Structure 1
Amino acid sequence: DAEYGEDDTKNHTKTEQASMPDYVEGEYEAMLAAASDAFDFPDFDEITIALPSARSNEMRRIINICRKSGKRFRTLPGLGELINGSVSIKALRDVDYQDLLSRPPVDLDIDKIQNLLTDKRILVTGAGGSIGSELCRQIIQFHPKQLILLDASETNLYEIQMKLKHRFGSNSNVVILCDIKDKVCLGRIFDRYSPQMVYHAAAYKHVPMLELNPWQTIQNNLYGSQNVMQQCIQSKAEQFVLVSTDKAVRPTNVMGASKRICELLMQSLVGNGTVMMAVRFGNVVGSSGSVIPLFRDQIAMGGPVTVCHPEVMRYFMTIPEACQLILQSVTRGQDGEIFVLKMGTPVKIADMARDLIRLSGKEPDQDIEIVYTGLRPGEKLYEGIAGQGEDLLPTDHDKITVIRPNNHWNDGAGGHDSQEAFCNWLNPIIQELYALAEKQDGCGIREKLKELVPDYTPQENECVL
């Protein structure tokens, strides 16, 4: 079986395949021209793309040429996957959507991360989720003294436990099935294991579902997060990191508003001995329940592919990229800071659907129809990265910006001239939210959220109860 290989590495092994001439990295114009000419000849069966350093626009052009050849084409892993060790250079695979998002690998300060994590007791909540499990995979490579994996899903927890055991063979991991709403269980965990660093990734995240069940959003995302923060302070943990979202910026849904209040709550607890911080970023490619798996399933069934609106746009990152930047951010973290990851250019969901259809070997609007269904409850056309009154400041890392805590007492209604006044305003309203959640009062929850998050603009959505 003849293969045709495109290669941007300086030295590559030529086995039983026709290989293109070597080009130094970046000479893609010459490479693409050679590929176009070569693919006019039918005497090969498959194309191998060996361009792990290709940028997204270059990769799109390469894929378009490969598609026109009518042959199967596969790719080597990207640089990010190779660097973090999640795959081997030999792991040839079909081209995926994340290849079209490819960006330069994250510039990691390994020494700083190692100093932060090595020989530490580290707790990850939501350890079985998309972000939590990847955080565990990356953290364990820095040899923590103990990695404590906490999740409320036994299936997800079992899967990450088995994957870590298979890949790293570590026996120092502790796996705990626990709901963060269970204050007593959390207290016992902190008393027994005394985690020094806590990465809080546990949260409900599916916007339309949470619009129908807003009380669950408050109980899990807010009450559960407050439990974790309080335990960190009581047990004198060194550092607490809240995994937040760009949906906290000018939120139009209960989930985003709940995460914004978590950020405010985190900032209200500064100065208590635990360095409190948050990291805010957008959608991650391939996370559970995200749009890409849905599109793949719809394409496999022959369509149609459903997109909510032709103009809706979202920021996207790969899961490894997001987790690398989380770890890089916290090496810089000061009490009360919110780090905002640079996520590149927002992507139109309709364009993403077309790309996925083409990657499947079909043509959009010919072989597979795209149907627009309207925005779902709580959704908006565009996401932001900074809210009203928030100044994004540069850090010494080109992919990380920071919102300093200097003026966060002024958030919310009226403004506050001290941390004490801020807490005296924030905490009673949070308690009122908990009371409304106990009564499953969705309308009351939305009205109360507006008191804490003035730029929250709820939509008129029916609740299930």
Structure 2
Amino acid sequence: MNNTINMFPKKNLPRWIIILIDLFISAFSLAIAYLIRFDIKADDAQWRLELGIVKYSIIVFFAVRLIVFFSFGIQKGIVRHTSTSDFKRLFLATTTSSVIFVILGIVRYNWIDNYYLFPSSIIVIEYVFCFFFLAVSRFIVKLLYLESVKSSSEQQLVLIYGAGVSGLIAKRIIEKDVRINLKVFGFLDDNNRISGNRIEGVEVFHTSKLEEILQKNKIHQVIIAIQNLDPEKRSCIVEKCIDAGVEVKKVPNPKSWINGAFTTNQIAQVNIEDLLGRTPIVLNQEKLADGLKDQVVLVTGAAGSIGSGIVRQVLEYRPKLVVLLDQAESAMYDLEFELNQLKDIPPFEIVIGDICNEERMELLFDTFKPSWVFHAAAYKHVPMMELNPSEAVRNNVKGTKILVDLSNKKAVHKFVMISTDKAVNPTNVMGASKRIAEIIAQAANNGQTQFITTRFGNVLGSNGSVIPLFKRQIEQGGPITVTDERITRYFMTIPEACQLVLEAGIMGSGGEIYVFDMGKSVRIVDLAKKMIQLSGLELGKDIEIRFSGLRPGEKLYEELLNDAENVQETHHPKILIASEREVDEKVYDKIERLLNAVGKTDNLSLVQMMKEVVPEFISNNSEYSVLDKK
């Protein structure tokens, strides 16, 4: 630390000393006022005459200042931490005492000796100088203190992306926080008109100069301070910083500031979701509102990542009632608590239940009479379902069939099933079970109910997905485990996936399989490397990546379409319709036999029956691969 810190005592100065200093400043200001009035040329006779007139006024002067200063409590503020509220009190105290001088002067002139307390020019000049010196003295003490507590080591340079209000707040907070050794190097902004200017002494650079600045200067950190930044632009900024080895952080949304105040502790790490995000999807809000308003909506798997996301978005369209169904009691408790914190939302009902319990489900349909069903309940973890195929069939196939049959029986208006890209040319039990569920939903589309299937890939940050796993492994110091260096996956955010499900539900008329544009596939190993960099760690030095080999049933890459499927465009560029494949009618008998076999036969026989229903189901790296050789 700098030696200047020794000039500040560990304890704050007593208040009486601060009052004495303030009174000395007042006396000094009064003396300057008289010197200015007499042009510093007055002779002894003039001074003696003036002193004879104001000798009692000086006593009143100090008495008034002392009382007013105490009344406004200007001595209570810790000088080294003077704030704008302290300056406001100084201004009010100085102004009040000067007004009192004027009033007392009028009283003296009219009722005592025909002299004013002080000449008007003296009061005005003293007022200006007194407030100026009081404010400057506190500012200088604060400045010296801030400099004294700064580390003597070289300060780390920070770039703030966004020269708006949020960026300015971030700058001030960084400069004010004596615990950190950061210095704001400059602002980055997309606005050409302000580039090259200075804001509060800090230069503004155009965003296009980011790479040049990072190359020429030892920038330690870039802070993104633009709220609602276009995801593609944010991704570009983060990528450039990662490539340059520069840490990236962001200013959180003001809604999350603690008690409306922002501190440096709240400047958060940029997430991998910020890097992979795309331009927000614009939905047909009017149609969604018309379709869901005053309807009873049932969401199965409501406590899961996708299910809870659908619940949150459906509530925005003012349905009559939202029924939340899941068998995960603890997760449902958390979701209920979250929803109860929201204001002015439509009513919702929590139902704990198993979609495979037919009697329970029929009672649910009879009680609430849903007109919309969003079916998100499913077992989704590939390795677990490889070990437990009977549960995959029971939950993903039988549970879906129960809901589909009840929807037709109870004249539900629309049934939207959430499927997965793993249902395309499945290589595992989970994917095959979802493909069978798709077949069931499509086959039922011959009554009043419109059955719609949506199919997409991995969802960023969903329960059990790779990103939360990598985060835990990084927090534990590694290693990060990746199954194969070549493996790739498609990703989309939870809100994006839920928005597309709602949009597909509105535009569907029954029988369609909607496929979502997932953008470019991402190599999982590249994802791991970027997460390491975003965490401020160095691969090979702080943490390792270990390749564990493909898990049973796992693909190197995912597909959204089967070879026999073509697509047609819709009005939404990110939503396509997969052409309906012809299914042999004998397959429905095979599905019945499969469902009857659950819990009554061994795993190998059950999986063999699944392969008969889904001929393209070819197991990969699995014990069931022996069935494909027959």
TM-score range, shorter chain: 0.7 to 0.9
Aligned twin of 1:337: 512
Higher mean Cα deviation, 352-361 or 143-152? 352-361
Does residue 441 (structure 1) correspond to residue 602 (structure 2)? The answer is yes
Structure 2 unaligned segments of length 5 or more: list them: 1-145, 147-155, 174-183, 193-205, 625-630
Aligned twin of 1:85: none
Q: Quick one: which amino acid aligns to residue 350 of structure 1?
A: V
Structure 1 unaligned segments of length 5 or more: list them: 83-87, 416-421
Does residue 7 (structure 1) correspond to residue 171 (structure 2)? The answer is no
Does residue 180 (structure 1) correspond to residue 334 (structure 2)? The answer is no
> 1:402-429: per-residue Cα shift (whole Å, max 9, x none)?
1243xx3x23xxx4xxxxxx3xx23211
Q: Quick one: which amino acid aligns to residue 450 of structure 2?
A: V
Aligned twin of 2:93: none
Please give the alpha-carbon distance, in whole angstroms, between the structure 1 residues aligned to 2:328 and 2:219. 53
Please give the alpha-carbon distance, in whole angstroms, between the structure 2 residues aligned to 1:117 and 1:35. 50
> 1:169-222: per-residue Cα shift (whole Å, max 9, x none)?
546111000000000000001001100000000000000000000000000000
Please give the alpha-carbon distance, in whole angstroms, between the structure 2 residues aligned to 1:92 and 1:139. 31
**Aligned pair partner of 1:64 in 234, 242, 252:** 242
Aligned twin of 1:255: 430
Instruction: State whether residues 23 and 31 of structure 1, in contact with CA within 8 Å, keep that contact through their aligned partners in structure 2.
Output: no
Instruction: State whether residues 287 and 319 of structure 1, in contact with CA within 8 Å, keep that contact through their aligned partners in structure 2.
Output: yes
Aligned twin of 1:418: none
Pick closer, same or farther for the CA change 1:9–1:125 going to 2, 3 Å. Answer: farther
Aligned twin of 1:367: 542
Aligned twin of 1:453: 614
Instruction: State whether residues 124 and 148 of structure 1, in contact with CA within 8 Å, keep that contact through their aligned partners in structure 2.
Output: yes
**Aligned pair partner of 1:226 in 385, 389, 401:** 401
Please give the alpha-carbon distance, in whole angstroms, between the structure 1 residues aligned to 2:357 and 2:449. 21
Q: Normalization by structure 2: what TM-score?
A: 0.65
Does residue 33 (structure 1) correspond to residue 212 (structure 2)? The answer is yes
Task: Report the identity percentage.
Answer: 36
Pick closer, same or farther for the CA change 1:149–1:3 going to 2, 3 Å. Answer: farther
Pick closer, same or farther for the CA change 1:444–1:62 going to 2, 3 Å. Answer: same
Pick closer, same or farther for the CA change 1:161–1:36 going to 2, 3 Å. Answer: farther
Does residue 390 (structure 1) correspond to residue 541 (structure 2)? The answer is no
Aligned twin of 2:587: 426
Instruction: State whether residues 124 and 149 of structure 1, in contact with CA within 8 Å, keep that contact through their aligned partners in structure 2.
Output: yes
Q: What is the CA-CA distance between 1:294 and the residue it aligns to?
A: 1.3
Pick closer, same or farther for the CA change 1:223–1:47 going to 2, 3 Å. Answer: same
**Aligned pair partner of 1:128 in 303, 308, 312:** 303
Please give the alpha-carbon distance, in whole angstroms, between the structure 2 residues aligned to 1:213 and 1:12. 51
Please give the alpha-carbon distance, in whole angstroms, between the structure 2 residues aligned to 1:394 and 1:11. 42
**Aligned pair partner of 2:553 in 372, 375, 378:** 378
Instruction: State whether residues 452 and 511 of structure 2, in contact with CA within 8 Å, keep that contact through their aligned partners in structure 1.
Output: yes
SS of 1:162's partner is helix
Q: Normalization by structure 1: what TM-score?
A: 0.87
Please give the alpha-carbon distance, in whole angstroms, between the structure 2 residues aligned to 1:442 and 1:272. 35
Aligned twin of 2:125: none
Higher mean Cα deviation, 439-448 or 122-131? 439-448
How do 1:395-414 residues align onto structure 2 when only pairs under 5 Å count? 395-405=570-580, 408=581, 410-411=582-583
Please give the alpha-carbon distance, in whole angstroms, between the structure 2 residues aligned to 1:76 and 1:381. 36
Q: Quick one: which amino acid aligns to residue 587 of structure 2?
A: L
Pick closer, same or farther for the CA change 1:439–1:24 going to 2, 3 Å. Answer: farther
How do 1:37-56 residues align onto structure 2 when only pairs under 5 Å count? 40=218, 47-50=223-226, 52-55=229-232
Q: What is the CA-CA distance between 1:102 and the residue it aligns to?
A: 1.7
Q: Quick one: which amino acid aligns to residue 449 of structure 1?
A: M
Higher mean Cα deviation, 360-369 or 394-403? 360-369
SS of 1:73's partner is strand
Instruction: State whether residues 6 and 48 of structure 1, in contact with CA within 8 Å, keep that contact through their aligned partners in structure 2.
Output: yes
Aligned twin of 2:268: 93
Please give the alpha-carbon distance, in whole angstroms, between the structure 1 residues aligned to 2:614 and 2:237. 41
Please give the alpha-carbon distance, in whole angstroms, between the structure 1 residues aligned to 2:191 and 2:450. 46
Q: Which has the higher contact order (CA 8 A, sep 6+)?
A: 1
Does residue 23 (structure 1) correspond to residue 190 (structure 2)? The answer is yes
RMSD of the alignment, in Å?
2.9
Q: Quick one: which amino acid aligns to residue 187 of structure 2?
A: M
Pick closer, same or farther for the CA change 1:451–1:278 going to 2, 3 Å. Answer: same
Q: What is the CA-CA distance between 1:22 and the residue it aligns to?
A: 3.4
Instruction: State whether residues 160 and 167 of structure 2, in contact with CA within 8 Å, keep that contact through their aligned partners in structure 1.
Output: no
Q: Size of the alignment, in residue pairs?
A: 437
SS of 1:167's partner is coil
Q: Quick one: which amino acid aligns to residue 370 of structure 2?
A: P
**Aligned pair partner of 1:283 in 437, 458, 461:** 458
Instruction: State whether residues 160 and 222 of structure 2, in contact with CA within 8 Å, keep that contact through their aligned partners in structure 1.
Output: no
Q: Quick one: which amino acid aligns to residue 514 of structure 2?
A: F
Please give the alpha-carbon distance, in whole angstroms, between the structure 1 residues aligned to 2:188 and 2:463. 41
Does residue 193 (structure 1) correspond to residue 368 (structure 2)? The answer is yes
Instruction: State whether residues 165 and 171 of structure 1, in contact with CA within 8 Å, keep that contact through their aligned partners in structure 2.
Output: no
Pick closer, same or farther for the CA change 1:267–1:5 going to 2, 3 Å. Answer: same
